[in-house]
């Protein structure tokens, strides 16, 4: 059953024998409230009603933090409202199913460390495609800049600056760059994503110093007593900022993508496609290819091109 059908199905099933379906539906509609999912744990989910305080609700499959839902007085979610944006990936247990990581976010902050662990451009490129498909804005936060030996190391992110993506180098040790990132998030719902160990939780603690206390407040939901990011959780902070912290990943697959679509998401190729001999140039072997010429001149980053080739092979 689709999530949007839960409410209507429950109206009919809960109607007294002999009562009209119209009367049952009217009663159920009056009993439902709208809210947003702010945390999901193994024993339930947390919902913040519009203008109200957090409540524990019964979980349903397919929910994501950020979902807007209708729920009733029993704490049962009856309907998931249409999502404005999504960030999704294939389900690790069943790649044929979509797993939505976060819903209705304005901004996806890709968190990557300049060192320890090393910067992984391929993971950033995958996130960029998923973010564009889902309809959110992408920001890149580079952590651990206090570990750099020289500022030239930030040259690795120059291809993303050229794409128009805002890059925020930060240090959790000194706090450098955190306020600039905070300014970019003002009034928005954001989600932090990235490889395990890059410092997402440390960034959360910089943005919201009482984040650990906030995690303790929902420990009944997770049945945990310390801050370990094993599930996504939304935090509210000053300047109208709401941030969803997510578990770190080791890899990130792309949902519902063809080889042709991979090519269209590499916008650093855009200016050079007209120089290709064929309209459907794959930029891999054709004799006259504007993209490969630009690559040879150093205009397109080698790491970006290599990621393009890997993704083409993967989805094919």
- Write the CATH number for 34: 2.40.50.140
Whether 6 and 60 have beta carbons less than 8 Å apart is answered as yes
Percent of the chain with pLDDT over 70: 84
Count up the domains in the chain and report the number: 3
Q: What is the pLDDT of residues 252-269, one digit of tens each?
A: 889 888 888 999 999 999
Q: What is the CATH number of the domain that holds 177?
A: 3.40.50.300
- Percent of all residues in the chain with a pLDDT value above 90, rounded to a whole number: 60
Q: What is the pLDDT of residue 283?
A: 97
Q: Residue 253: inside a domain, yes or no? A: no
Q: What is the pTM of this model?
A: 0.83
Each as own residue / partner, the long-range contacts of residues 154-158 (CB below 8 Å, 24 or more positions apart, any chain) are 154/114, 156/114, 156/119, 156/121, 156/303, 157/119, 158/301
Q: Which residue has the higher pLDDT, 33 or 6?
A: 33
Mean pLDDT, residues 230-251 taken together: 86
Spatial CA neighbour of 108 closest among 204, 310, 243, 264: 243
Identify the domain boundary among 45, 80, 115. 80
83-107 pLDDT per residue, tens:
999 999 998 888 889 999 999 999 9
Q: Per the domain annotation, does 254 fall within a domain?
A: no
């Amino acid at each position: 059953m689709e999530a949007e059908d839960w409410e209507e199905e429950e109206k009919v099933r809960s109607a007294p024998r002999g009562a009209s379906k119209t009367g049952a539906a009217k009663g159920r509609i009056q009993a439902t409230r709208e809210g947003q999912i702010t945390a999901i744990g193994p024993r339930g989910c947390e919902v913040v009603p519009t203008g109200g305080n957090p409540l524990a609700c019964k979980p349903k499959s397919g929910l994501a933090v950020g979902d807007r839902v209708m729920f009733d007085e029993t704490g049962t979610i009856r309907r998931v409202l249409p999502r404005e944006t999504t960030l999704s990936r294939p389900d690790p247990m069943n790649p044929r199913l979509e797993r939505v990581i976060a819903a209705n976010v304005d901004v996806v902050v890709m968190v990557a460390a300049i060192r320890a662990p090393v910067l992984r451009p391929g993971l950033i490129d995958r996130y960029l495609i998923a973010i564009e498909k889902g309809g959110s804005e992408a920001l890149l936060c580079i952590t651990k800049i206090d570990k750099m030996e020289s500022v030239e190391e930030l040259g690795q992110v120059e291809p993303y600056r050229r794409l128009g993506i805002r890059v925020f180098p930060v240090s959790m040790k000194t706090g450098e760059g955190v306020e600039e990132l905070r300014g970019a998030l003002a009034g928005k719902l954001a989600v932090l994503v990235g490889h395990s160990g890059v410092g997402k939780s440390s960034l959360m603690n910089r943005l919201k110093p009482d984040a650990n206390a906030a995690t303790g407040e929902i420990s009944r939901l997770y049945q945990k007593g310390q801050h370990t990011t094993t599930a996504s959780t939304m935090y509210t902070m000053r300047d109208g900022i709401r941030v969803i912290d997510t578990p770190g990943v080791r890899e990130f697959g792309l949902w519902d993508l063809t080889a042709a679509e991979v090519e269209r998401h590499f916008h650093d190729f855009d200016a050079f496609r007209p120089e290709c001999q064929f309209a459907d140039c794959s930029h891999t072997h054709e004799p006259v290819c504007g993209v490969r010429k630009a690559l040879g001149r150093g205009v397109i980053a080698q790491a970006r091109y290599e990621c393009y080739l890997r993704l083409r092979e993967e989805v094919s």
